[in-house]
Structure 1
């Protein structure tokens, strides 16, 4: 019988093994073991670290999934300034740059060309091969410490591979949101009735500054590393450093190239003008650097940028075509979105027939009219958009486009809430596109994942009168399904099996599937964590909801409105009766003491050393109870920074004891 390993030894071995497997998978695209085996190892490591928190390493692979809550990001000073590059849009400027370089250091100059990825610059510091700090560019001299969020990015090694690295060094990189992830994220936001993100760069930048690192992990950010910095560099050239950091475990894009002359540089730029659209990340140009570190030092810097590098930016891809019509689409939330129908035109390697117009305000701002010649652009945006009108080609008899006042699908008068750009159809229970879109959302992969059903079948079921809402799906019979066009008995049976299997889906995904406006999958997870069953969610007050991290005013009001509708309540009741999960499957709370037994607490404000969620957990684990409102029966108000004055006034009026963060922690010590 094998002897059981000491926890410290097992944690060390598991950490080393998982780091190696991650390196093989993410850097070399090699899977040495199955996902099931890998997940088992990671779970074992997580369990050991939970049992022995003092043995958890700062760069443990378990930190990849996030979970740290950061209330504020501390400012850090860059050891090496993060300067911006001077930009150019012309071949002439590049040739002038080459002349200046050769005039200063001679004709024996090599360049390195790299793609200018449209992401967020980041500085990564390592000591003795261990990741110790990740920081934003900031003003170039100082940035924000976002280390907890950086640890979730799998392209960034937490432990450097090999042994030939300096004791202290820094790597610079560009953090990005892959185009596919960006499109999925926007699709989810559209489903939740939220404003779409403009482009992947803004999305990546916003993600890096989120307070909850587990949400950052879910966004699947990537990072291409592009430069190395050290007091005494072991490398002679930039190209040597790129090859080395690639071996150490950093992800370096294989699109870089060494060029012997400015002609080679221009050839690279011309080659990638169209090839760049094949990449999984948006790019907007090429960075040209002098390869030799010795020559870089000789050339030096201006006040704002290095003299040994320049960025060539491609002009935004634009094409002229005719606006043939405007199609108004009704989404799941009732938002009526205009889409421009264009005369087909080739743009950035693809034929474009449709373009985004966003909303009525945009039609008015551009003064769009049918028959106009319009310019369509594909820059940092993924979806082509109309940027301007060629008024010189406008037909003499053109008329302004009048935005519809009634729903194009059901004829109901449209409404627009104060502060919102979109018009909405309020007929959510009788507007066919809304009903079908709600059903399609319910069966989607991130929701109930009923993969045997699809939009075409949903449309057939709706038109046949079999389904009006999600609960109707669980009342379907074999005869009803088999009677649909192009549907055999086997396919019908598979749909029923898929519906049955969906009853195993976790509570947070069921919440997401309900389609409550502004409740995307991330918000649904937060709700399920803090309000662990549907009874708690239905009974939650506005204060209960906004007390949850990242649940704001708009989301809270949307949830309250949803459960005030009797038809929504009936829908949830029917789904619950059908067997769907409306309760979180959480592990029982471990009681630490009964020190707070019989005591009630209200938590309000922001805390320095602990999150509100952790405070709630501590109170419960010591026998206390957290309540949402202040009353004469309340024992304590735990007050943090930025607490609402109304709560404080009410607590003082009722003579309730107010505890600071330190005073509360002292109570349970």
Structure 2
């Protein structure tokens, strides 16, 4: 769970999070109470047992969701506190300011404008701590808490070998702010992601009793209130005092392009820790006594784009493919992942949808799979009251259904037309799903070859078709008549493997229709079961009717001798 800074930022963004749900007061109480109780359980597990039961991204998103609902229904239920971190009873000698987040490259460039002596560092992904040294000895280690007070972590920090217990020189009497992190040699952020490293560190630090993980932790010092003014000296002193990482991973930058280069380099190359972005800071900082939570305007973070984004399911849509297979599509509130806007995700089969148990109103994590295909990673929240739509009955759709149009067949019929016009079949260019939809709605097609009957005058009257497009479409419909017999067999959906089709000697439908199961089995890839299906397909009444329609249009291989 992240600290108070993120929660404050979420408060400012909550009102723009999404539209308010149209709930009755009773429904609002139900939904908000359920989510509030869940967040409370996660908080208790995190702060009392040191266990992170959900990822930080899921927690952050659902807390933002709750804050947004509270803004929509301000008088329904008690509000969540903006600060969830346990403040503790030990005051920080110098407050943790937190770090503001740049929305994008342009906002970071605007922040950098006019500022001097800027440095960039990796934004190490761990948990924040204050170390206090007096007369060369570590006397306090304080969790960040609410930024003003935290809990004593001295016992745990003393068990971390990589954190110096004694210091000399300027560090002998110092206050240091840093990030305790899980050491990850040769970690590549782009390849391995966050590994939930922050939660593992928090668990080790918050859990009662010793943890074997403590020996695997390190520290990155990113703040030295009252330290040397010049960054090079500050880094050198830290390195000499046993804190070398800041010097190794801090670089001066003059413009946004340099920051962008370091950000990309650290995202794609090996580092000794998990990161979630970069931090740009000024060497010049205000006096330590003036540091206050939420007021660290001398530094800013530019986080990496998350590999997954949370969004809400608007609706569930069912589509029927040309073979009769029913697919389920989740329609989403628009979300951007890796510069790609996602509004819909194909879930797959009805069975897979039931396994996922996704309904309108649920919140899901969306990412990009191979080739940039959107996918749902998981469902992060299901509401109390859910209404799942009823899918079409699979028994009504199969390889021989919807060759003729009915209202119930609308989806599969259109899928057949789109497939027939594709490059691997009849190759009718210039017609996509929307174009076929327009033709079907205008001319009320009887079957999947009704377009062969259209005249150029009829096409001129299609709404949305220019005269030029209508003429081009008519020419294409005429040219397609010259396609070879083999492609027309494919367009019918003849269940013949590609290898068998290449070896098929038949040049007329009558030859195909006269084949029995034994003759089909002479072709490569055709066994007894496939042969049986081929004979049944050819003898089906609707196939016979379509063959007659093609014959009337004098299509090669179908016209009567």
TM-score normalised by structure 1 residue count: 0.35
Q: Which structure has the greater CA radius of gyration?
A: 2
**Higher relative contact order structure (alpha carbons within 8 Å, sequence separation ≥ 6):** 2
TM-score normalised by structure 2 residue count: 0.41
